[in-house]
């Protein structure tokens, strides 16, 4: 009788492990890197650094490239 109960416990444990693995699927490091890379849409004209939004891009440009003229797309950004 002990083997029958052990078998049931083993099957439950395997199901829980499989469910946990299925839930984790798609949350790997490579998926996170792809999502982060997709969010970086603005690229600095001088150093080719990537930024997520125009406000950050403008701050970057003013701090890192003060001698260069501000690009046209950043002139009206607040």
Same-domain status, 30 and 1: yes
Q: Is the entire prediction scored with pTM above 0.75?
A: no
First-to-last C-alpha distance (Å) of the chain: 75
Same-domain status, 32 and 51: no
Same-domain status, 43 and 30: no
Higher pLDDT, 33 or 61: 61
What average pLDDT is seen over the chain? Answer: 87
Same-domain status, 1 and 34: yes
Per-residue pLDDT, 65:
93
Same-domain status, 33 and 43: no
Per-residue pLDDT, 25:
75
For residue 6, give its domain range.
1-38
For the chain, what is the domain count? Answer: 2
Closest by CA position to 59, among listed 37, 73, 77? 77
Residue 1 has pLDDT above 60, yes or no: no
Same-domain status, 52 and 72: yes
């Amino acid at each position: 009788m002990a083997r029958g109960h052990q078998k049931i416990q083993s099957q439950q444990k395997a199901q829980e492990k499989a469910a946990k693995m299925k839930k984790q699927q798609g949350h790997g490091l490579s998926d996170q890197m792809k999502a982060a890379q997709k969010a970086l849409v603005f690229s600095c004209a001088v150093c080719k650094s990537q930024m997520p939004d125009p406000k950050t891009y403008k701050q970057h440009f003013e701090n890192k490239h003060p001698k260069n003229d501000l690009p046209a797309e950043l002139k009206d950004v607040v």
